[in-house]
């Protein structure tokens, strides 16, 4: 990990009509970092990610991803990032291999290069026996791995993962995270949202979002110490509960 | 970009080929529709525009003409005996530009022969392109003439009718139906496939995955459209093959011209499909819009009811319907052997329509939401 900042946003805000989904969010992420994005459902995590990926235009604020402006250069950003959405993003009626070749071509890779990378990825993610089955029949854990393979095929500098392990059993989650560690070691920056506190522990730094705002940001260790909690989960639950009662 | 484009087309074909219902929709539907409609549809026709060529110009002949105009079966077109006598060949022009659909020709010796109790024959000419109207018009005429003869002579009808049809001498209504059905199918399938395919991807979440790739919105749409254009044309070929081989419809004009103009027509329907996908959020909505617009297109295309029979305000509405133009093109090429010059107004209308709706949907289909 070095000190190069690859994601930086300042006062990012997104309003849908009168509802403010994201309110004045500022943060920065260094290259090679695994940055955890925590928060309850509806806290605004997905909206932030979609703005960073160039899928959604911010109402105000500014930001840079991989050196490109999120307001004016979304297409540049798209070449530099990988994105795995909450939803199942593979074509269910196509096999894993067909999905990989399709998305590879979408990034402009040639068939030969895709073939090499599919080999390498299926090795790393132990996907080989699942590559030629229609992806709709696959257990969710394998589908998520395939989706990860799809979003890393073009060797992105930054990987945005929105709830990548939702509904996946613990054994799968562990191997999934060890893959993320490997990718980070190789220099990729990983921006990940999660519900699971044990996963949050794996992150270099985490931020906690509540009602569109970032209310805490730091290493898991720092945050637990600051709030004098027994662990990350207690800290999170207390923090959210306190906020809710303040609002009431 | 070409890599992404061809990958998109390959992907769409893989998906269509794995979807049994889609395959049925595309390949079985035209055949079934064609067989059902080709045999089953029989239409009630009124207000056939009738030209009269009365060479007898007697009280008797006028009574016959009045009897024909009495109901609402016929509406008077040109009276051949007024002004200086119009030559009969003038009728061909009247049929060509659609101002007359039928003409009755009463011979000079009509009243004399009738008074003498001799047999007399009147002539009936009809534009056979609209075989259904032509045949029904002939039926009406026969009844009216029978009744008239009975009243005048009290005898079994001494008045014969000699009828002839221009353009579609066999007056097979399938000749008329098949181009209509083919145009309808083409409209329905292309609008529906396009709008549903895009909305389905949005529902599944794969559209968002496509949006984060560097593929441009234009290439994305082109990839979809190319696939459905190919399927649409394939569909048209199948339907026409059934029409020609099974129903024996004529194919007088140039197949190449028809294919080229079908592509032009598809730009409009595919554009509509794309446009619908940008204003709907679920497959049901897209399907509903596709059905609604297909029915609208069918009813205002002159498929069932000739456009000239519609009220004036309705006739203006039909200009909004791209199928209206393609219907004229199809019938013209298949049955009259029409060429580019004959169809120029319809070709221009389709080109304008297509480019407007197509650009509109490309503009609306943004990769980034506000």
Give the pLDDT confidence of A193-234 residue by residue, as tens digits: 988 888 898 999 999 999 999 999 999 999 889 888 888 888
Which residues of chain B are within 8 Å of residue A98 when distances are taken between CB atoms?
A: 11, 14
Last residue of a domain, one of B166, B183, B218: B166
Shared-domain flag, residues B127 and B33: no
pLDDT of residue B35: 78
**Does B151 fall in a domain?**
yes
B135 pLDDT higher than 70? yes
Total structural domains within chain A: 1
Confidence of residue B193 (pLDDT cuts 50, 70, 90): confident
CA pair distance A77, A53, nearest whole angstrom:
7
Final residue of a structural domain among B108, B135, B166: B166
Q: Is residue B369 part of a domain?
A: no
Tell me how far apart the alpha carbons of residues A153 and A111 are, in angstroms, rounded to a whole number.
Answer: 12
Same domain, B111 and B218: no
Q: Percent of chain A, pLDDT > 70? A: 99
CB contact under 8 A, B4 and A79: no
Distance CA B195, CA B285 (A): 10
Residue B341 pLDDT greater than 90, yes or no: no
Give yes or no for B211 touching A (CB within 8 A).
yes
Calpha distance B249→B174 (Å, rounded): 7
Nearest to B125 by CA among B151, B156, B88: B88
Which residues of A are less than 8 Å from B10 in CB distance? Answer: 102
The predicted pLDDT at position B40 comes to 64
Higher pLDDT, B87 or B125: B125
Rg (CA), chain A: 18
Looking at CA atoms only, how far is residue A226 from chain B in angstroms?
A: 38
Q: Which residue has the higher pLDDT, B104 or A189?
A: A189
- pLDDT at position B368 is 63
> How many C-beta atoms lie closer than 10 Å to residue A87's C-beta?
15
pLDDT reading at A22 higher than 60: yes
Residue B159 has pLDDT above 80, yes or no: no
The answer on pLDDT for A189 being more than 90 is yes
DSSP for B314-326, written as a single string? HHHHHTT-HHHHH
- Do B354 and B296 lie in one domain? The reply is yes
Q: In this structure, what CATH number is given to the domain that contains residue A41?
A: 3.40.50.300
* pLDDT (average), residues B330-345: 87
Q: Which of A209-218, B79-88, B278-287 shows the lowest mean pLDDT across its residues?
A: B79-88
User: What residues have CB less than 8 Å from B21, skipping those under 6 apart?
Assistant: none
Q: Which residues have C-beta within 8 Å of that of residue B94, sequence separation ≥ 6?
A: B51, B77, B78, B100, B103
The confidence score (pLDDT) of residue A35 equals 96
Question: Counting Cβ atoms within 10 Å, is residue A221 exposed (0-12), middle (13-18) or buried (19+)?
Answer: exposed
Q: What is the CATH number for B58? A: 3.40.1710.10
Query: By percentage, how much of chain A surpasses pLDDT 90?
Result: 61
Q: Are residues B98 and B148 in the same domain?
A: yes
Q: Are B115 and B189 in a shared domain?
A: no
Residues B270, B180, single domain; the answer is yes
Question: pLDDT value at position A100?
Answer: 95
- Angstroms from A13 CA to nearest CA on chain B: 13
Segment B273-292 mean pLDDT = 89
| Residues B27, B121 share a domain | no
Residues near B218 by Cβ (< 8 Å), separated by ≥ 6? B362
What tokens appear for A167 in the block?
A: 């509904």
Task: With H, G, I as helix, E, B as strand and everything else as coil, classify residue A90.
Answer: coil
Query: A59: nearest CA in chain B?
Result: B370
Please indicate, yes or no, whether residues B200 and B158 belong to a single structural domain of this protein: no
Claim to verify: residue B194 and residue B305 sit in the same structural domain: yes
Are residues B326 and B194 located together in one domain of the fold? yes
Count of Cβ atoms closer than 10 Å to residue B310 Cβ = 17
pLDDT tens digit string along B24-76? 877 787 788 777 776 665 555 667 888 888 888 888 888 888 888 887 778 77
- Which range has the worst mean pLDDT, A38-42, A108-112, B93-97? B93-97
Cβ of B4 within 8 Å of Cβ of A106? The answer is yes
Domain total of chain B: 2
What is the rounded distance in angstroms from the CA atom of residue B364 to the CA atom of residue B366? 6
B219-246 in b/e burial notation, b at 16+ Cβ within 10 A? bbbbbbbbbbbebbbebbebbbebbeee
Tell me which residue range forms the domain holding A140. 5-247
In this structure, what DSSP letter does residue A127 have? Answer: -
Which tens digit of pLDDT belongs to each residue from B235-259? 899 889 888 888 788 888 899 999 9
Q: Average pLDDT over chain B, rounded to whole?
A: 83
- Looking at B166, B190, B215, the residue that finishes a domain is B166
Distances (CA, A) of B136 to A122, B164, B215: 70, 14, 56
Average pLDDT, chain A: 90
Q: Does residue B35 sit within a domain?
A: yes
Tell me what pLDDT residue A165 has.
87
Q: Is A178 exposed, middle or buried (0-12, 13-18, 19+ CB in 10 A)?
A: exposed
**B340 lies in which domain range?**
2-40+173-364
For residue B369, give the chain A residue with the closest CA: A56
């Amino acid at each position: 990990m070095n000190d190069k900042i690859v994601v930086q946003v300042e006062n990012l805000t997104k309003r849908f009509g009168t509802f403010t989904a994201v309110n004045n969010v500022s943060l920065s992420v260094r290259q090679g970092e695994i940055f955890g994005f925590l928060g309850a459902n509806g806290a605004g995590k997905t909206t932030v990610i979609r703005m960073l990926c160039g899928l959604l235009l911010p109402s105000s604020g500014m930001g840079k991803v991989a050196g490109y402006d999120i307001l004016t250069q979304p297409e540049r950003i798209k070449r530099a990032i990988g994105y795995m959405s909450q939803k199942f993003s593979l074509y269910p009626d196509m096999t894993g291999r067909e999905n990989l070749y399709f998305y590879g071509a979408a990034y402009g890779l040639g068939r030969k290069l895709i073939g090499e990378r599919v080999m390498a990825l299926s090795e790393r993610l132990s996907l080989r026996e699942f590559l030629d089955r229609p992806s709709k029949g696959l257990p969710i854990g394998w589908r998520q791995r395939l989706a990860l393979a799809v979003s890393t095929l073009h060797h992105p500098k930054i990987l945005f993962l929105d709830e990548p392990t939702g509904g996946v059993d613990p054994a799968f989650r562990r191997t999934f995270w060890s893959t993320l560690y490997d990718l980070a070691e190789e220099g990729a920056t990983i921006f990940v949202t999660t519900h699971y506190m044990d996963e949050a522990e794996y992150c270099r730094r985490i931020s906690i979002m509540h009602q569109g705002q970032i209310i805490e940001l730091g290493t898991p260790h720092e945050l637990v110490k600051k709030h004098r909690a027994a662990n990350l989960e207690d800290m999170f639950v207390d923090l959210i509960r306190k906020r809710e009662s303040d609002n009431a | 970009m070409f890599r992404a484009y061809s990958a998109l087309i390959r992907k769409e074909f893989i998906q269509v080929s794995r979807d049994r219902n889609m395959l049925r929709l595309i390949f079985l539907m035209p055949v079934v529709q064609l067989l059902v409609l080709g045999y089953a549809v029989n239409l009630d026709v009124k207000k056939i525009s009738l030209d009269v060529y009365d060479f007898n110009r007697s009280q008797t002949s006028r009574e016959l003409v009045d009897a024909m105009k009495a109901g609402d079966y016929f509406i008077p077109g040109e009276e051949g005996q007024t002004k200086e006598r119009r030559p009969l060949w003038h009728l061909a022009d009247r049929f060509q530009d659609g101002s007359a659909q039928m003409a009755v020709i009463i011979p000079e010796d009509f009243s004399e022969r009738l008074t003498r109790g001799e047999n007399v024959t009147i002539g009936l000419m009809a534009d056979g392109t609209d075989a259904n109207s032509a045949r029904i018009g002939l039926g009406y005429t026969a009844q009216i003439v029978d009744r008239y003869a009975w009243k005048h002579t009290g005898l079994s009808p001494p008045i014969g009718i000699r009828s002839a049809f221009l353009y579609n001498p066999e007056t097979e209504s399938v000749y008329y139906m098949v181009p209509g059905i083919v145009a309808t199918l083409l409209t329905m399938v292309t609008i529906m496939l396009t709008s549903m395919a895009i909305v389905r991807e949005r529902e599944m979440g794969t559209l968002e995955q496509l949006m984060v790739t560097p593929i441009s919105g234009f290439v994305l749409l082109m990839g979809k459209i190319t696939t459905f254009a190919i399927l649409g044309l394939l569909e048209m070929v199948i339907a026409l093959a059934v029409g020609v081989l099974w129903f024996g419809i004529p194919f007088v004009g140039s197949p190449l011209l028809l294919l080229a103009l079908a592509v032009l027509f598809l730009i409009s329907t595919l554009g509509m499909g794309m446009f619908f996908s940008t204003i709907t959020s679920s497959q049901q909505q897209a399907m509903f819009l596709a059905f609604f617009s297909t029915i609208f297109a069918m009813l205002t295309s002159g498929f069932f009811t000739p456009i000239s029979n519609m009220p004036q305000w309705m006739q203006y509405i039909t200009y909004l319907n791209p199928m209206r133009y393609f219907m004229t093109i199809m019938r013209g090429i298949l049955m009259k052997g029409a060429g580019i010059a004959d169809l120029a107004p319809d070709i221009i209308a389709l080109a304008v329509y297509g480019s407007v709706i197509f650009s509109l949907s490309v503009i609306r289909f943004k990769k980034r939401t506000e």
